[in-house]
Amino acid sequence: MATVALGDLPFDAQQTIARIRKGGPYPYRKDGAVFGNYERLLPVRPRGHYHEFTVASPVKRNRGAQRIIVGGMLESPHEFYYTADHYATFIRIIE
């Protein structure tokens, strides 16, 4: 899987990760929902391991396609992934 440095992500994605680390507030009702990994593009883990968050875009009226997926405890995730195309591809975020 490809990787990207946190500082190389789009600014809105960096802001989303900062919000996740603070525990919110989240702009969308579905932020923090369990991500099922049905595409099996991420490492296989038990259900509930992954959670998804919308990357807010000031130019979009809806949630758009960008998401941050976190793995591990929601309060202290240890895996971060970025998708710009609504789960078609993922990039692991490294710090």
Residues forming the active site: 52, 86
Q: Output 51-57 pairs: Cβ under 8 A, ≥24 positions apart.
A: 51/77, 53/16, 53/19, 53/20, 53/26, 53/28, 54/16, 54/26, 54/27, 54/28, 54/30, 55/10, 55/12, 55/13, 55/16, 55/82, 56/12, 56/15, 56/16, 56/27, 56/28, 57/12
